[in-house]
Amino acid sequence: MSAPAADAPILSVANIDVFYGASQILFGVSLDVERGQSLALLGRNGAGKSTTMKAIIGLAPPRAGTIKVRGQEMQRRSADQIARAGIGFVPEDRQVFPEHSVEDNLLIGAKKSAEGRSDWTTARIYDVFPILAGMRGRMAGRLSGGEQQMLTIARTLMGNPDVLLLDEPSEGLAPIIVEKIGELVKQLRQMNVTLIVAEQNMHFCLDIASHVAVIDKGHIVYRDSIEGLTANDEVKRRYLAV
């Protein structure tokens, strides 16, 4: 295995092919994320956003290509090893432990970062997520969908990830809640949390992302700054539902 380069991107995905059984879903997908960047992975329904995230976290290992975290190859590691290397994942279906309190959910997620950092404590979480502070003793299963989404993000942060992957955080939530989650993610961005956000909703990403990659039918078809995308009507019309 090659030694990690000091200036390597924190996460580097290069030319990955992913299959479910016999059907190929991703075709040579490549993405780089530098520390402190925030990448929006945009694409329509079924484009391959979740599959890209599952490949990164080891749930859909690529048949070809490489995935490096801080320069170290990860594509043949287990999901647990990848999580410990510093990748935190918030899935589409927001998983909380319903029979445990909000606080216990947070404590279950607690671990040091791969480099030994423990920036995130319950106190800091309650500071950033005041809504959770008021319900710390409540069973997580009794929270609303939006509150569960926040708790899942908070629990993942408690693992002190170097990169936080959010799979469609706005999906299925009422507009007012989407706005709240957006504010929260914006705050994380201001704290220099390195992010990849998979979304169909470009508008949700405008204040959140520094960079964008657009995926369509398993291919990355466009890469730019968020400003570049917002000015590109052709790409928005062809690949996004806007």
Ligand X SMILES: Nc1ncnc2c1ncn2[C@@H]1O[C@H](COP(=O)(O)OP(=O)(O)OP(=O)(O)O)[C@@H](O)[C@H]1O
Among 37, 50, 75, 149, binds Mg ion (CB under 5 A): 50
Among 11, 25, 69, 240, binds ligand X (CB under 6 A): 25
Segment near ligand X (CB under 6 A), from 7-15, 49-57, 61-69, 230-238? 49-57
Q: Which is nearer to ligand X, 48 or 86 (CB)?
A: 48
Interaction partner, residue 51 (ligand X, Mg ion, none; CB < 5-8 Å by kind): ligand X
CA angle (38 as vertex; 240, 173 as ends), nearest 5: 55
Interaction partner, residue 149 (ligand X, Mg ion, none; CB < 5-8 Å by kind): none
Interaction partner, residue 147 (Mg ion, ligand X, none; CB < 5-8 Å by kind): none
Please report whether residue 105 would count as binding Mg ion according to CB under 5 A.
no
Q: Is the Cα torsion angle 130, 121, 39, 96 positive or negative in sign?
A: negative
Among 43, 58, 86, 146, binds ligand X (CB under 6 A): 43
Residue with tokens 């052709």: 234
Q: Rounded to the nearest whole angstrom, what is the least distance from the CB of residue 45 to ligand X in the complex?
A: 4
Q: Rounded to the nearest whole angstrom, what is the least distance from the CB of residue 104 to ligand X in the complex?
A: 29
Among 45, 99, 123, 234, binds ligand X (CB under 6 A): 45
Interacting positions 136-195 with Mg ion (CB under 5 A): none
Beta bridge partners of 54: none
Please report whether residue 149 would count as binding ligand X according to CB under 6 A.
no
Q: Rounded to the nearest whole angstrom, what is the least distance from the CB of residue 50 to Mg ion in the complex?
A: 3
Sites of contact with Mg ion (CB under 5 A): 49-50
Sites of contact with ligand X (CB under 6 A): 20, 25, 43, 45-51, 168, 200
